[in-house]
Amino acid sequence: MRFFLLTLLICLSLRAVPALADIRYATDFTATESEAMKDIGNTIRQVAEVELRKDETIESLELLRRRAEGDEKRIRDVLNAEGYYDPRVELAVEPVEGDPDKSAIVRLSLDPGPIYRLQRFTLVFRTAEQEKAAEGLTYEALGVSLGSRARSEMIVSGERAVTRRLGWRGYPFARIEEREVVVDHAERSVAVDIRVDAGQRAYFGQTRIDGLEDVDASVVRREQRWKEGDLYDTRKVAEMRQALAGTDLFLSVAIAPKREEMAEGKVPMTISLAESKPRSIGGGVRYSTSQGAGVRAFWRHRNLFGYGEDFRLDGDVAEQLVGLKASLGRPAFLNPQQRLDFSVYAQQEDVDAYDATRFGGVTTLTRQFGGPYSGSVGVSLEQSRIEDANGTETFTLIGLPTNFTRNTTNDLLNPTKGGKLTLSATPYTGLIGSDSNFLVLRLDDTMHLPFDPEGKYVLAGRIAVGSILGATRTDIPADKRFYAGGGDTVRGYAHQSVGPLDASNDPIGGSSLIAGSIEMRARVMEDIGLVAFLDGGNVFRSELPDLGVDPLFGAGFGVRYYTPIGPLRVDLAFPLDRRPSDDAFQIYISLGQAF
């Protein structure tokens, strides 16, 4: 009986508690759209929970007010970080009557107040000896500007620049101990004192290498950027780490100073490596309406003799090209910044312009000049049999290919920023009965302009200009002339069909070239991107481009499917200056962006 009465009492008590109603609300953040707030309005919206969760219900107006109070503090923090240290921020929760969908509106009132400026940025070191390490460090070098808005980002970035630049000067263990920020509301200024412990001045000690199995230690030593006893410089460590990673010989590279073993100012270095598998195979497929399908495969050995030699076999089978190529590369040839490459090849190419059978070899010496700059010189020898509209000829040509490159792109197959400029000059001379002597000049430039930090929206462009000097078009072997049209120049037209045509509407090539493209890329999903493009250009019979001849334009759109090894490209292009011999459209499928 007692149990029954107790249960009844609990049920009656529960029924007496009013049920909580889910409340929906709207927000009014138009205060962030003012001219003063245009740079930080989005940031304010991203930290305000009432804005981020406005599509969710909340149990009561009281909870909504508490959420708004927390947001007021977060918004003040954002404004402080932007140099506004006396803002007025209010998030008012106003009940709404007569709206079945919304019970309240949260309205932001915002006055950022005056801008506070950086009056002082002082480094305070532990000792006078450490203070000498900062001699010559300017505000400009640290990215700090006295008198500018006292933004937290600039102050924190300046701190990082202090430890980074001390690392360049022999203090790899420098650290920031404390940051003292004083805000003067009367003067509307901010003063910052940074307490720095630079640590002990260090020099490179002995270097130990761990993790090697098949790779010889000399491969690692030749990439070493310091000698024992040199003043410690963190840039040299970073350069060596990047160089070792670039050899493709290692899965991981770690270079660390052993501070606990430091003696007499010398700090031992440990290079920890994990070797990658030396052998690999790979391949790809491609398709275009005019060229048909093609398959390419390769086999690679990255460490053929134990000293980082790169041996590779490439095979190409397509409707218009069958070829085989063997190449051997020797990195650090006579200098850590140089690479020597040998290659031999055999190809059979059958296109509308000509049929070619060629055998040849190339030796190239490539030099890195620092940063994005590199150059190469080489010598080539090729024997070819060319059949075109003028008949069949045999050529034996020796060439001296020379290239200069400036490459600031951030990715090989999917660049989202930077560009690549290539200048090339190749003189050819005939041997063994061939009397062809000519010079091929070409400039290729690409540029990628991102509209957002993640590189999801990119405007890309390219231009190519070429000229062949020293011989008339008919004296130049057909496979050495310039051609345009297809996936690598002017999309929308058949392969090599942009330029002079013969009576059968087959391309005959030319002695000069101009081609360009502009392309808008948008990564609309994690794996999917959309592209719109406009290409244009022409090939000319004359040695220099004839600006009196109109270019041919093509336009279209494409889809990109992003994979771990690069985007899969599918483009549909239409000729805007369609001739009777041109198809209505062209389709291109390959791996990687068009440029």
For residue 7, pLDDT over 60 is answered with: no
Q: pLDDT tens digits, residue range 77-118?
A: 999 999 999 999 999 999 988 787 788 999 999 999 999 999
Q: What is the dihedral of CA 540, 544, 549, 552, to 10 degrees?
A: 60
Residue among 24, 69, 31, 63 at smallest CA distance from 48: 69
Pairing of strands 321-331, 338-350: antiparallel
**H or E stretch at 76:** helix 61-81
- Name the strand (E) or helix (H) holding 218: helix 217-221
What are the beta bridge partners of residue 359?
Answer: 346, 383
pLDDT of residue 17: 39
Domains of the chain, each with CATH number or no CATH = 17-111 (3.10.20.310), 117-197 (3.10.20.310), 203-275 (3.10.20.310), 279-591 (2.40.160.50)
Are residues 523 and 529 in contact, defined by beta-carbon separation less than 8 angstroms?
Answer: yes
Residue 460 and residue 448 in contact, taking contact as beta carbons nearer than 8 Å? yes
Q: Would the CA dihedral through 502, 505, 508, 512 be positive or negative?
A: positive
Cβ atoms of 187 and 249 within 8 Å: the answer is no
Residue type, 139: Y
pLDDT tier at 19 (50, 70, 90 boundaries)? very low
Dihedrals phi, psi of 309, to nearest 5 degrees: -70, 135
Indicate the residue type of 43: T
pTM: 0.74
Rounded-to-integer distance, Cα 199 and Cα 264, Å = 14
Say whether pLDDT at 196 is over 60: yes
Contact 486, 495 (CB under 8 A): yes
Q: Summarize pLDDT for 301-356 with one digit per residue, the tens.
A: 999 999 999 999 999 999 999 999 999 999 989 988 899 999 999 999 999 999 99
Residue 10, pLDDT above cutoff 60 = no
Which residues touch 257 (CB under 8 Å, ≥6 apart)? 172, 173, 202, 232, 267, 268, 269, 270
Distance CA 129, CA 57 (A): 61
Look at residue 4 and tell me whether its pLDDT is greater than 80. no
What is the pLDDT at residue 21? 54
pLDDT category at 204 given cuts 50, 70, 90 is very high
Start-end of H helices in 145-216: 152-168
Question: Is residue 192 very low, low, confident or very high in pLDDT (cuts 50, 70, 90)?
Answer: very high
Each residue's pLDDT tens digit, 150-185:
999 999 999 999 999 999 999 999 999 999 999 999
Q: Which amino acid is at 145?
A: S
